[in-house]
């Protein structure tokens, strides 16, 4: 089947990163979550409906933003040494601010 070949989808549209069984599972899981959310109700039901809608969108559009970010990070890992990580931050110690003492004549209620 040419339609389920992941390479065929990638040549048609590079924005599609969810293919074949993964798309079908997203649609099925999305429908299941929506049904569970509608039957449960309340705040947790609303959360399930929202997550199910996200699954449906992922399956119908064939695009997942989270998967795209993960694939980019795995393709281009940026590992820093501890010395490189320390260079990004200012390591100057913070000095406390010391204010001069207030004269007792300025304090309300003092009798000096």
Which of the pair, 38 or 86, is modelled with greater confidence?
38
Residue 1, number of CB atoms within 10 A of its CB = 6
pLDDT digits (tens, 9 = 90+) for 1-20: 344 444 544 444 567 889 99
End-to-end Cα separation, the chain, in angstroms:
96
pLDDT for res 2: 40
Confidence of residue 98 (pLDDT cuts 50, 70, 90): confident
Is the per-residue pLDDT at 92 higher than 70?
no
Which has the higher per-residue pLDDT, 111 or 46? 46
pLDDT tens-digit map of 32-81: 999 999 998 899 999 999 999 999 999 999 999 888 888 888 888 776 66
CA–CA gap between residue 9 and residue 15 (Å, rounded)? 10
The pLDDT assigned to 34 comes to 97
pTM of the prediction?
0.55
In whole angstroms, give the CA distance from residue 32 to residue 49: 9
Domain ranges of the chain: 43-78
pLDDT value of position 27 = 95
- The contacts of residue 40 (CB under 8 Å, 6+ apart) are 48
């Amino acid at each position: 089947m040419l339609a389920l070949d992941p390479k065929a989808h990638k040549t048609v549209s590079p924005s599609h990163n969810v293919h074949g069984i993964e798309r079908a599972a997203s649609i099925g899981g999305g429908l299941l979550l929506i049904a569970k959310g509608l039957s449960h109700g309340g705040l947790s039901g609303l959360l399930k409906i929202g997550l199910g809608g996200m699954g449906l969108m992922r399956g119908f559009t064939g695009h997942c933003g989270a998967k795209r970010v993960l694939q980019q990070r795995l393709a281009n890992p940026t590992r820093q040494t501890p010395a490189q990580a320390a260079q990004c931050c200012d390591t100057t110690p913070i000095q406390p601010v010391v204010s001069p003492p207030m004269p007792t004549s300025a304090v309300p209620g003092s009798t000096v």
